[in-house]
């Protein structure tokens, strides 16, 4: 009986062992299959990969995509950019993006890029309301198509005589502007393009409209602001709200002009918001330079004015003393010429920008001795992303042969959207408004003003010192859409720290809006003794409860 039980137990154990071995073998086989067969990516993994790519784009590259080129990048380019995997690929894409639009690919400069950022700066200066100027409808059109050929402006609204095509008659309007372009490629009928912007909220934010009657402040008032047809009894004002052409014009059954046809207006409205076509093919840029060291005294400085969250207009200013230049007499005139070659590179030595300019001085020979006591100054504005760069400037006196190599670091600051921020504080020897046709154009021009920095910041008592600085990202009041804060100015004498001058003002009195305001003042120096001084400007945003301080040193002789 014991033997029989032993046999049964042994047989059961063997059976269990065999089953376990088969299971292990099967498991091993299954494991091998899993190792050799690639599983498809799950939805969760796909989402993780997309989230990782999205976070990578939350860098200056995302700002470049959604701010700098939002109006000019094509749908195909946007899609291609979003599919890039590394920052190196994105940087190469950006370089190719601008090269495709360069009208003079054989030159070192990219006029299209420089003009684009000039337009952004102008839009921020002129069209800002509760939002930065580049985000507004007027900013969008200006950045995309440039300045219009004609502007009809009604900044206060008021009494308005309608043109015949809008029904005639007199009404009262909201503030509005009508822009006219004689020709815009690939937009509507392409010729005689008229665009209306209306400020119905009276806050300075003009909206582009397709309906010419949207500016009519009496549209909803019965019996008021009647058109000629309505005054003659040939139409009823109530009929305006039964029209099927997308307008509320009081023209009765009179047909609209062809350019005001509803389909033409819709097509134009859509075309105005499309990216312009690319005119130039992909190109490769090569920069070859030889930098030779010699001696030609030169002063240099850089000032920074943010255009968007990801681009800063960097104003590079160079100054030469005329007594260090050699003049050549030609036919009673003496002329000196300095050739300038400048290159901006990243800290990894990647070339970011190159420009070449000529600075010349031409004076009558009999006035040469007097003219040689002055200075020759030059400025170039370069759009750069925030970061650290290296600037190399090579200058050569063509007549004398002297050369100079100047190297300096460019620490381009980053402006965060939700923080109070200030540009460089510039002490200027020329600070004045420019003619309308020169706004945003030419050397030393920032928006509507000419701001020429005093190199060395040394002033005479007989001069006036210009103070120029831009302020960004004030918190607007919910009701008035205006900022609340103060600007405090203090001048301290170096050495004994004695306070020489102190005054303050409300930010509401400055030019601009909450997104961008401008400090622009001329300070007489006649009452100040010769010596070294420090100007401190303290800015307070009362709604955010934050402050910032900028300072600059200067001397008086």
What digits encode the pLDDT tens for the residues 145-181? 999 999 999 999 999 999 888 888 999 999 999 999 9
Q: What is the CATH number of the domain that holds 296?
A: 2.60.40.150
Report the domain count for the chain: 3
Both 294 and 265 in one domain: the answer is no
Q: Is the pLDDT of residue 32 over 60?
A: no
Instruction: State the pTM of this model.
Output: 0.65
Count of alpha carbons within 13 angstroms of residue 419, beta-carbon side: 8
Q: Is residue 372 part of a domain?
A: yes
CB 265 within 8 A of CB 209: no
Q: Is the pLDDT of residue 312 over 50?
A: yes
Residue 17 confidence (pLDDT)? 46
Mean pLDDT of 509-523: 91
CB 459 within 8 A of CB 429: yes
Residue 370 confidence (pLDDT)? 81
Residue 453 confidence (pLDDT)? 95
Both 422 and 556 in one domain: the answer is yes
Last residue of a domain, one of 271, 298, 314: 271
Weakest mean pLDDT among 93-107, 141-155, 523-537: 93-107
CB 313 within 8 A of CB 342: no
Both 210 and 267 in one domain: the answer is yes
Both 120 and 261 in one domain: the answer is yes
Weakest mean pLDDT among 111-120, 208-217, 342-351, 420-429: 342-351
Give the domain extent around 457: 416-557
CB 411 within 8 A of CB 400: no
Largest CA distance in the chain: 140
Both 263 and 333 in one domain: the answer is no
With bands split at pLDDT 50, 70 and 90, how would you rate the model's confidence at 486? very high
User: Which residue has better confidence, 240 or 142?
Assistant: 142
User: Which residue has better confidence, 471 or 2?
Assistant: 471
Non-local CB neighbours of 157 within 8 Å, separated by 6+ positions:
172, 173, 174, 175, 176, 199, 215, 217
Both 201 and 235 in one domain: the answer is yes
Q: How far apart are CA 328 and CA 325, in angstroms?
A: 10
Q: Is the pLDDT of residue 288 over 50?
A: no
Q: Is residue 170 part of a domain?
A: yes
User: Which residue has better confidence, 136 or 295?
Assistant: 136
With bands split at pLDDT 50, 70 and 90, how would you rate the model's confidence at 87? confident
Residues above pLDDT 70, as percent of the chain: 86
Q: How far from 348 is each of 57, 261, 295, 344, 389, CA to CA, in Å?
A: 21, 56, 28, 11, 9
With bands split at pLDDT 50, 70 and 90, how would you rate the model's confidence at 305? very high
Q: Is the pLDDT of residue 286 over 60?
A: no
With bands split at pLDDT 50, 70 and 90, how would you rate the model's confidence at 548? very high
User: Which residue has better confidence, 143 or 286?
Assistant: 143
Q: What is the CATH number of the domain that holds 514?
A: 2.60.40.2550
Both 449 and 537 in one domain: the answer is yes
User: Which residue has better confidence, 404 or 33?
Assistant: 404
With bands split at pLDDT 50, 70 and 90, how would you rate the model's confidence at 467? very high
């Amino acid at each position: 009986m014991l033997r029989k039980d032993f046999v049964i137990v042994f047989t059961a154990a063997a059976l269990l062992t065999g089953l376990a071995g088969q299971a292990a073998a099967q498991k091993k086989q299954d494991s091998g299959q899993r190792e050799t067969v690639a599983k498809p990516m799950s939805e969760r993994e796909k989402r993780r990969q997309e989230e990782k790519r999205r976070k990578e784009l939350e860098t200056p590259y995302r700002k470049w995509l959604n701010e700098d080129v939002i109006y000019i990048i094509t749908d195909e380019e946007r899609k291609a950019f979003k599919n890039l995997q590394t920052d190196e690929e994105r940087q190469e894409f950006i370089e190719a993006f601008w090269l495709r639009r360069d009208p003079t690919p054989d030159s070192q400069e990219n006029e299209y890029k420089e003009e684009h950022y000039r337009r952004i700066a102008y839009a921020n200066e002129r069209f800002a309301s509760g939002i930065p100027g580049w985000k507004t409808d007027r900013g969008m059109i200006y950045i995309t198509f440039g300045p219009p050929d004609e502007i009809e402006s009604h900044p206060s609204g008021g009494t308005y005589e309608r043109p015949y095509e809008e029904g005639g008659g007199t009404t009262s309007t909201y503030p509005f502007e009508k822009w006219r372009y004689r020709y815009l490629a690939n937009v509507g009928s392409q010729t005689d393009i008229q665009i209306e912007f209306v400020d119905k909220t009276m806050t300075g934010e003009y909206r582009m409209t397709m309906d010419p009657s949207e500016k009519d402040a009496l549209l909803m008032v019965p019996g008021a602001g009647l058109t000629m047809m309505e005054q003659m009894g040939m139409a009823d004002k109530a009929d305006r709200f039964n029209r099927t052409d997308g307008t509320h014009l009081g023209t009765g059954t009179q047909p609209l002009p062809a350019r005001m046809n509803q389909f033409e207006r819709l097509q134009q409205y859509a075309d105005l918001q499309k990216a312009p076509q690319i005119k130039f093919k992909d190109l490769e840029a090569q920069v070859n330079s030889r930098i030779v060291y010699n001696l030609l005294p030169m002063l240099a400085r850089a000032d920074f004015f943010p255009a968007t969250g990801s681009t800063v207009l960097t104003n590079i200013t160079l100054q030469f003393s005329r007594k260090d230049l050699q003049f050549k007499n030609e036919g009673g005139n003496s002329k000196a010429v300095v050739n300038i070659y400048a290159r901006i590179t990243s800290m990894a030595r990647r070339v970011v920008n190159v420009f070449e300019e000529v600075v010349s001085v031409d004076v009558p020979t009999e006035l040469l001795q007097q003219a040689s006591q002055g200075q020759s100054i030059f400025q170039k504005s370069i759009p750069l992303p925030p970061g650290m760069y290296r600037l190399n400037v090579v200058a050569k006196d063509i007549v004398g042969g002297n050369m100079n190599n100047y190297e300096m670091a460019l620490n381009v600051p980053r402006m965060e959207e939700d923080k109070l921020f200030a540009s460089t504080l510039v002490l200027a020897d020329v600070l004045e408004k420019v003619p309308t046709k020169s706004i945003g154009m030419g050397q030393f021009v920032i928006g509507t003003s000419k701001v020429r920095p005093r190199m060395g910041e040394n002033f005479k008592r007989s001069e006036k010192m210009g103070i120029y600085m831009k302020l960004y990202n004030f918190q607007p009041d919910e009701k008035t859409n205006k900022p609340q804060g103060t600007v405090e100015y203090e001048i301290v004498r170096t050495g004994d720290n004695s306070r020489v001058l102190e005054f303050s003002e409300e930010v509401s009195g400055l030019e601009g809006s909450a997104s961008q305001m401008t400090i622009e003042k001329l300070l007489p120096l006649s009452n100040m003794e010769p010596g070294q001084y420090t100007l401190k400007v303290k800015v307070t945003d009362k709604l955010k409860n934050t402050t910032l301080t900028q300072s600059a040193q200067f001397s008086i002789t």
